[in-house]
Amino acid sequence: MNITEDVPPALTALDRPNSYIGRSVPRPNLARLTQGRGQFVSDVVLPRMAHVAFVRSPHAHARIKAIRTEAAKNAPGIVAVVTGRELAEIITPWVGVLTHLKGIKSAPQYPLAVERACWQGEAVCAVVARTRALAEDAAELVEVDYEELPAVTDPETALDPGTPVIHPELGDNLTFERKLDVGEVDKAFAEADAVVETTFRFGRHTGVCLEPRAIVADWNPGEQRLTVYQATQAPHMMQNLFAKHLSLAEHQVRVVTKDVGGSFGIKVHTYADEMATVALSKLLRRPIKFVADRLESFVTDIHARDHRVHAKIAVKGDGTITAFAIDDLTGIGPYSVYPRTSGIEANQVVNLVGAPYACPNYRAQARVVFQNKNVMCQYRAVGHPIAVAVTEALVELAAAKIGMDPLEIRRRNLIPDDAYPATSAAGLKFELLSHHASLAHLDAMMDYSGLRAEQKRLRERGIYRGIGFASFVEVTNPSAAFYGVGGAKISSQDGATLRLDAQGAVICHTGVTEQGQGTEAVMAQVVATAVGVPIERVKVVTGDTDNTPYGGGTWASRAAGIGGEAAWQAGKALRANILAVAGSILQAAPKALDIRNGVVVDADSGRERIGLDEVARIAYFRPDTLPPGFQAELMATRHYVPRTWPFAFTNGIQASYVEVDPETGFVKLLRHWCVEDCGTVINPQLVDEQVRGGIVQGLGGALFEHCVYDSRGQLLNGNMADYLVPMAAEMPDIEVAHVVSPTADSELGAKGAGEAGTAGAPGAVINAVNDALRPLGATPITETPITPECVLRALGKV
């Protein structure tokens, strides 16, 4: 374990002569994207392509009595007006359950509501026209007779006997429930010197992508083949689902994913309107485009969080944490989202509360209930921000109660760095974490004692600043344990295929996808290093189920750790294959040769022997000059899936420094720090920006972002003026550093880094705000977003 500097030290297994591992290599797609030459779905234009707009339910819950489409069908430019009942003939419904989430239940969901609309924004009718504008014009002419039904909106009463059951055939509104009781929780609380018990409320919010959801579906009746251009994180998963629900074989479906403008977990689910678009293409036998606009994105893109957690912690006078207990309740909309389910976030909360600490006693209950609001599902850092905020706020409230410094209580309880492998109370298996090294680095990096002195000085002048921390554990590199064992066709393995082209460059096809985060750069770095070529001579191809190796795509921070390792192994295989050819040309033992900077060299002396262009020329155009019986194989494929550990857990710690104006309740973010350990850092700049971007989304949830619903299930702020995404002016400088504990599960040693920022930021901010308000006698704040009103309430001013 060591601390990385600007340029991390050379890494043993990866210490190739022209290694790109650990270097901030600019991404190869930068020029294309910055010159506006990206290919996003909205750029796709096909002959005879028509556009769909959806008529969406204005009610949270309503019976559809009649849909009158005549006027719309006679509108200019109209291709078709299709109702849910008609579309149900083309495509089968789906149910978002997994077998390993015991007892989870949901109801069949259709691409367009058939009998009932169950949330405000659910599509009830599709209007297809020559242009989107004409489709929207005609959509206004569709008349739907609704009979409004009572809306279930409050999770607290969703299970009450008097509350209507949204899907009567399910018996109740309970989607999923999990209970856990480990160690001697009651004893620990009975014997505690201090107990803190409180209720946390996390506001429902969403992920706002620069590019909205977008899809072009092109059913070709001549070929009996469906080609789907889709902004998705998981092309192969979608291929499987399109095939399954249109009753096609998977080889009849091709999913093409070119550039994607951000995903964050938003684009890894089955969306009813996208399934409708695919079905419409099959029905109408022509390409159909759907690009969600911002208004419909707010009521259809998955929401997340929205948890109420009763929680308590037991501590001894010396700071030893002896127990955690939580009761989590979350409302997930009317359907569990397919195919990953909407039970995962609550499940993660149960898994992750208390996870950084060596505390053996833990009781948890999580209940997931249906409600008549937009669906909720996995968004960046699934469950982590909730579990981390609950755990870390409890830890700091307990520290305050016993008069202990917040870093000190962590030093006394974080799992020691030499105690690995270790298992958490919830049963998570940790290969190697570095909580203490991370904490020590953070302490020095932020000049903690200096900040405390500044805080004290400023308080005397009536300026209230606060410092808050959040230690965290992040789930990355999931094996089949995440979804596969539950029956979902979501691949946990991934592949890479490398080909030496005829001029000695390397073409890499990978199953992981580029969402704007820099996958292409990371893959190119790994391949260039493994094969031994300059990075300019690597071309990475992603996102095409006809051409890329089968794989899971990009989610759960898996692209670099899993896709990267597959590329590394494929690179080694291709190098061996190239050296076999070179050996036969040079009459040398392949083992005595290596490839450096695109040239075959003597491994010992580094003397240049033959360029890869020449190897390729001979292999492809003059194979007759090679020895009889020798066949060059200049293409290699390797796959990888973690086998030793079900997940590669990472860890880290964040700190937030804020100033609170006690008169207005406004919170100003001054600075933010994060030390995290994602194992091998392949590209420091990309990792740091992942962490920063993640922190910004975490800060959004902490202070700004909130899908505000009224009691009738109406979203009140579904637009970019009223829904507050975090913007640059409010963001603090964010300093990022790393501790490096590679996973031994792979040679690359890389773990994921995509969610660490989002995981820890809300907890750190909650703690910082409470630290700032503590001398004012405020009630601790345990809700997000922390609005000015929330602070004023804590201070008793409103």
Distance CA 355, CA 341 (A): 23
Is residue 132 at the binding interface for other proteins, with CB under 8 A as the rule? yes
Is residue 733 at the binding interface for other proteins, with CB under 8 A as the rule? no
393, 400, 580, 607 from 588: Cα distances, Å? 64, 70, 9, 13
Cβ-based nearer residue to other proteins, 408 or 710 = 710
Cβ-based nearer residue to other proteins, 242 or 723 = 723
Cβ-based nearer residue to other proteins, 51 or 307 = 51
Is residue 70 at the binding interface for other proteins, with CB under 8 A as the rule? no
**Per DSSP, what are the bridge partners of residue 739?**
3
| Minimal distance, residue 572 CB to other proteins, in Å | 49
Contact track, other proteins, 454-493, x by CB under 8 A: ----------------------------------------
Closest to 600 in 3D by CA, of 590, 589, 609, 587:
609
Sign of CA dihedral 591, 592, 596, 601: negative
Q: Which stretch binds other proteins (CB under 8 A): 324-332, 472-480, 624-632, 789-797?
A: 789-797
Q: Which stretch binds other proteins (CB under 8 A): 114-122, 185-193, 661-669, 673-681?
A: 661-669
Is residue 145 at the binding interface for other proteins, with CB under 8 A as the rule? no
Is residue 622 at the binding interface for other proteins, with CB under 8 A as the rule? no
Cβ-based nearer residue to other proteins, 70 or 789 = 789
Is residue 789 at the binding interface for other proteins, with CB under 8 A as the rule? yes
Element (H, E) at 687: helix 684-699
7, 61, 66, 143 from 147: Cα distances, Å? 64, 9, 10, 13
Q: Is 3 helix (H, G, I), strand (E, B) or coil?
A: strand
Cβ-based nearer residue to other proteins, 215 or 634 = 215
Residues 6+ apart with CB under 8 A from 606: 17, 596
Size of the site for other proteins (CB under 8 A): 31
Q: Which stretch binds other proteins (CB under 8 A): 383-391, 515-523, 738-746, 790-798?
A: 790-798
From 172, 177, 730, 735, residue interacting with other proteins (rule: CB under 8 A): 730
Is residue 347 at the binding interface for other proteins, with CB under 8 A as the rule? no
| Residues 379 to 408 in contact with other proteins, rule: CB under 8 A | none
**Per DSSP, what are the bridge partners of residue 602?**
593
Is residue 665 at the binding interface for other proteins, with CB under 8 A as the rule? yes
Q: Which amino acid is at 282?
A: K
Distance CA 608, CA 327 (A): 66
Which tokens sit at 423?
């298992």
Please say whether the beta carbons of 532 and 18 come within 8 A.
Answer: yes
Distance CA 155, CA 373 (A): 11
Is residue 721 at the binding interface for other proteins, with CB under 8 A as the rule? yes
Distance CA 678, CA 736 (A): 12
Contact track, other proteins, 687-716, x by CB under 8 A: -----------------x---x-------x
From 174, 248, 451, 724, residue interacting with other proteins (rule: CB under 8 A): 724
Q: Which stretch binds other proteins (CB under 8 A): 157-165, 213-221, 650-658, 781-789?
A: 781-789
Upstream peptide bond of 339 is cis (omega within 30 degrees of 0)? yes
Cβ-based nearer residue to other proteins, 137 or 747 = 137
Give the max Cα distance, the chain.
Answer: 89
Burial class (CB in 10 A: 0-12, 13-18, 19+), 622: exposed
Cβ-based nearer residue to other proteins, 231 or 616 = 231
Is residue 71 at the binding interface for other proteins, with CB under 8 A as the rule? no
Is residue 788 at the binding interface for other proteins, with CB under 8 A as the rule? yes
Contact track, other proteins, 76-115, x by CB under 8 A: ----------------------------------------
Is residue 285 at the binding interface for other proteins, with CB under 8 A as the rule? no
Residues 6+ apart with CB under 8 A from 617: 502
2, 127, 319, 361 from 441: Cα distances, Å? 11, 57, 22, 29
Is residue 294 at the binding interface for other proteins, with CB under 8 A as the rule? yes
From 15, 536, 722, 733, residue interacting with other proteins (rule: CB under 8 A): 722
385, 441, 556, 765 from 671: Cα distances, Å? 19, 16, 27, 10
Which tokens sit at 756?
């660490």
Cβ-based nearer residue to other proteins, 190 or 720 = 720
194, 403, 526 from 320: Cα distances, Å? 10, 13, 44
| Minimal distance, residue 594 CB to other proteins, in Å | 53
| Minimal distance, residue 315 CB to other proteins, in Å | 35
Token pair 């996808």 is found at: 513
Please say whether the beta carbons of 23 and 518 come within 8 A.
Answer: no
Q: Which stretch binds other proteins (CB under 8 A): 164-172, 725-733, 752-760, 763-771?
A: 725-733
Please say whether the beta carbons of 646 and 429 come within 8 A.
Answer: yes
| Minimal distance, residue 720 CB to other proteins, in Å | 9
In this structure, what are the phi and psi dihedrals at residue 274, rounded to the nearest 5 degrees? -75, -40
Is residue 762 at the binding interface for other proteins, with CB under 8 A as the rule? no
State the residues that interact with other proteins by CB under 8 A: 131-133, 136-137, 140, 293-295, 663-666, 704, 708, 716-717, 719, 721-722, 724, 726-727, 729-730, 787-789, 792, 797-798
